[in-house]
Amino acid sequence: MRIGQLAEAANCTTETIRYYEKAGLLPPPARNASNYRDYGPAHLERLRLIRNCRSLDMTHDEIRSLLQSLDAAAQDCQPVNQLLDEHIGHVDARIVELRQLRAQLVELRLRCAQESAVKDCGIIEGLSEMDIPARAPHSHLS
């Protein structure tokens, strides 16, 4: 199938497919006699797996690791389990970060409980005075 057909079947854009090829997540397809890319069912299956992993907020490195396990046809899925356990830990850390972010935003919002001129706005004042915290070193989103 051509790239447009693959994109339609996987519900994504052709740019997404080219991006995953460049990132090394999707193997390059064969070329047909007219030099068009010729994708097969394996490309569609792999692309769906990649997109599902991305929908779970997995990084390209995490996906690459999963794909390596899949390609190696390892007899036990311990590396996959370990990767998912680590990703769950990343999600837990992000939840903590998001709760802290929400608390900061609520605190800022409380600084401007009534209508006032922007120059007197407590939110703007709070944003100007706020120290930017360093990102947690354990976050895989850093």
Asked if residue 119 has pLDDT above 80, the reply is no
DSSP-assigned letter for residue 12: S
Kindly state the average pLDDT of the residues 60-70: 93
> Percentage of the chain surpassing pLDDT 90?
62
What pTM did the predictor assign? 0.76
Asked if residue 77 has pLDDT above 60, the reply is yes
Residue 126: the pLDDT is 86
Q: What angle do CA 133, 134, 139 make, to 5 degrees?
A: 125
Query: What are the pLDDT digits (tens) for 44-53?
Result: 999 999 999 9
CA atoms within 13 Å, Cβ hemisphere of 106: 6
Asked if residue 128 has pLDDT above 60, the reply is yes
Query: What are the pLDDT digits (tens) for 98-109?
Result: 999 999 999 888
